[in-house]
Amino acid sequence: MKYAIIEASGRQIWVEIGKFYDLNYIAGEPGDRINLNRILLLNQEGKINIGNPCLQSINVQAKILKHLQDKKVTVFKVKPKKNNKSKQGHRQKLTRLLIEKIITKI
């Protein structure tokens, strides 16, 4: 099994070929291909490469499937004894990526 741990959108994500993942919004049109180059770990059938902090010779090629929005988060603030209440909602923009291949340049 071939997988990689990448750093994207401020998170570390375990990615495998053929699966899709939702990350923070990435500018681009659906159908565009992007390269993710912050690879922290790569496992190729039991052979593990660990970066310090990143592996320079490895890229992950992904395709933008679509842009979507996350579930709504409601923020409700109350200040007691002041009769002050505020309610606010937020939906984070996301991009769905399909991992196509993991490219090693060794």
- Residue 106 pLDDT exceeds 70: no
Q: What is the mean pLDDT of the chain?
A: 94
Residue 5 has what pLDDT? 96
33-36 β-sheet, strand order: 20-24, 93-104, 58-69, 33-36
The domain ranges of the chain are 2-104
Q: What mean pLDDT comes out for the span 56-79?
A: 96
